[in-house]
Amino acid sequence: MVAAAKVVAPPAVRPWQTSRTLESHREIRACHLDQHQSSRARSFRRLAGLLSTVLVAPSRARAARATQPREKANKIALITGASTGIGKATAQELCRSNMYSRIILAGHNEAKTKAAMDEMGPVAQTTELEYLPLGLASFKSVRQAAKQFQDMNLPLHTLICNAAVMALPQRQVSADGNELQLEVNYLSHFLLVNLLMPQLVKAGTDDDPARIISVSSSAHFVRSPLAFGDAADLNLSGGEGDRYAYYPWTAYGQSKLAQVMFTYELARRLKARGLPVVANALDPGIVDTELQRYLPTKAPSALMKLSKTPDRGADTVVLLATRDAGRGSGGYWVDERLSESLGRGKSPMPMNAELAVEGTTSYNESTWTELWRCSSQLVGLETTI
C-alpha cells in the first residue's frame, strides 16, 4: 500500500535573497562614495558589478542546483506547449537540471516544436528530447497522444500542463463543442492527466512522488460563474448580458480558475487513494511571451518592461519539477513560494483585485467536486481517479 502524499510545507527562507539585497545596498553606497572621490572609471566598474548582481541573480531553483551534487538523470517529463515561451524555457531548464533523461514536448505545431528542440540541443547533452503530436483543441488528439505515450511503455515522473491560449476576442468552439479556452487550457489537460495516471503512478514513490504541475495564472481572480461556485455552464454559452455570457477575460480567467480548483481536488483524491503522485498549480507572473497573440491591443509597454523573461517565468515550474518543494501536494505557488488563490490570497494585478469580489472563492470543496463531475462529463470519461 502506498502512503499518502505529503502535505506542502512552506518553503525555507531564501538566504541568498537577503544577502543579495544587503550587498546591493552596500554597492549603491559605494557607488556614491566613488563619485565623490572623482574616480569615474572605478564608479563605472562598480555600477557594472551592481547591475550584474541584480540582473543575473539566480532563481531559488538555480541557486539550489548550483550547490547540489549532480544527480544521475533518469526521470521522464512531458510538457504541453513547449514550442515557445514558458514551456520552452522550462524544457531547457529541465535539461540543465541533469535530472531528466527524456523530455517529451507535446504540441500541435510540429515544425515550431522541432525548431525549439534544435535550439535546446546544446543544453540537452544528457537529455533526449522527443516531439509528441498533441492538439489540445481536440479530445481525439489528446487520446491519441496519451495512447502514443502509453505505447512507449515508460513511467512518467513529471507532467507539466502548460499550453494555453488567452482572451480570444470572439467566442470560438472546438470540434468537441466546447468554448476553446476552456478546452485547450483546462479540459484537455483534465483528460490527459486522467489518461496518463497509470504512468504517473508507475513513476512515483513514497519518497519522490510523480508530479503534476498546472501552469495557471493570476487571471484566475477574474470574476466568473465558477468563482461563485457555479459550474452549470463552464462553456459560457449565454447571450449578451446573460450570467453565462462570453467575455474574453471571463473565459480565460475561468479556465485558469478551473486549473486551480482541479489541482486542489486532484490532490485530495490522490491523497485519499494513497497514490504516489502530487499536484500543484502556479502563477508564473507577467512574462514576455507570445501569449498576447490574440489581444486586439498589446499590453502597455511600461507594463511589459516590468515583465519577466521566459526563463524567469519558468522558475516556479522548474522548482516544482526539480526540488524537494515539489514533493508537497495541493499548493498554489507564486514566485517560487507557496501562496494563496482566490478567496484567501490577493491578486498581484491591480485590475484583477478589483474583479475578485465578495462571495468568490477557489476554496469551496463542493465546487471542486461539482467541477470534477462536469469535467468528466464534458471530456466523456466514465471513470476518473
Ligand X SMILES: NC(=O)c1ccc[n+]([C@@H]2O[C@H](COP(=O)([O-])OP(=O)(O)OC[C@H]3O[C@@H](n4cnc5c(N)ncnc54)[C@H](OP(=O)(O)O)[C@@H]3O)[C@@H](O)[C@H]2O)c1
Query: What stretches of the chain adopt beta strand conformation (E)?
Result: 75-80, 100-107, 128-133, 158-161, 210-215, 277-283, 331-334, 337-339
Cell readout for 287 is: 512574462
| Calpha distance 329→190 (Å, rounded) | 17
Neighbours of 20 (CB within 10 A): 16
Residue 354: partners with Cβ closer than 8 Å, 6 or more residues away: none
| Nearest distance, CB of residue 260 and ligand X, angstroms | 12
Give residues 135-174 in contact with ligand X (rule: CB under 6 A): 135-137, 162-165
Joined together, the cell numbers standing for residue 243 give: 450570467
Please report how close the Cβ of residue 289 comes to ligand X at its closest, in angstroms: 3
The residue among 201 and 222 lying less far from ligand X, judged by its C-beta, is: 222
Across the beta sheet with 75-80, what order do the strands follow? 128-133, 100-107, 75-80, 158-161, 210-215, 277-283, 331-334, 337-339
Residue 287 near ligand X by CB under 6 A: yes
Q: How far apart are CA 245 and CA 224, in angstroms?
A: 10
Residue with smaller CB distance to ligand X, 79 or 270: 79
Query: What CA–CA distance (Å, rounded) separates 315 from 59?
Result: 7
Give the residue ranges of DSSP H helices in 291-383. Answer: 301-305, 310-313, 315-322, 350-355, 365-379
Please choose, out of 83-91, 151-159, 231-239, 339-347, the segment that lies near ligand X by the rule CB under 6 A: 83-91
Q: Compose the 187-226 pattern: x for residues touching ligand X by CB under 6 A, - for all others.
A: ----------------------------x-x---------
In the complex, least distance from residue 141 CB atom to ligand X, rounded to whole angstroms = 8
91-130 binders of ligand X (CB under 6 A)? 107-109, 112
Q: Which of 84, 158, 263, 367 binds ligand X (CB under 6 A)?
A: 84
Closer residue to ligand X, CB minimum distance, 135 or 276: 135
The site for ligand X, by CB under 6 A, has a size of 28
Catalytic residue among 252, 264, 332, 363: 252
Which of these segments, 25-33, 92-100, 289-297, 370-378, binds ligand X (CB under 6 A)? 289-297
Q: Residues 276, 284, 328, 330: which binds ligand X (CB under 6 A)?
A: 284
The CA distance from 176 to 278, in Å, is 29
CB of 131 to ligand X, least distance (A): 11
User: Cβ 147 to ligand X, closest distance in Å?
Assistant: 17
Query: Which one of the spans 47-55, 82-90, 325-333, 373-381 is the region binding ligand X (CB under 6 A)?
Result: 82-90
**Please, what's the largest Cα pairwise distance for the chain?**
76
List the alpha helices (DSSP H) in 121-247: 139-151, 180-181, 188-195, 197-203
- Nearer CB in complex with ligand X: 276/313: 313
Q: For the CB of residue 164, give the shortest distance to ligand X in the complex, in Å.
A: 3
Is 264 among the residues known to form the active site? Answer: no
Binding status of residue 184 toward ligand X by CB under 6 A: yes
- Closest to ligand X by CB, 9 vs 303, is 303
- Using CB atoms within 10 Å of the CB of residue 111, give its burial: 0 to 12 exposed, 13 to 18 middle, 19+ buried: exposed
When asked if residue 85 is in the footprint of ligand X (CB under 6 A), the reply is yes
- Which set of grid coordinates corresponds to residue 202? 508507475
Q: Does 43 bind ligand X (CB under 6 A)?
A: no
Report residue 376 as a C-alpha cell: 468528466
Q: Are 348 and 238 in contact (CB under 8 A)?
A: no
**247 exposed, middle or buried (CB, 10 Å; 0-12, 13-18, 19+)?**
middle
User: To the nearest whole angstrom, how small is the minimum distance from the Cβ of residue 97 to ligand X?
Assistant: 19
How far apart are CB 90 and ligand X at their closest, in Å?
9
Q: Does residue 289 bind ligand X (CB under 6 A)? A: yes
Q: Which residue is nearest to ligand X (CB)?
A: 85
Kindly tell me which residue out of 34, 79, 81, 226 binds ligand X, with binding defined by CB under 6 A: 81
Residues identified as active-site: 252
Binding residues for ligand X, per CB under 6 A? 81, 83-87, 107-109, 112, 134-137, 162-165, 184, 215, 217, 283-284, 286-287, 289-291
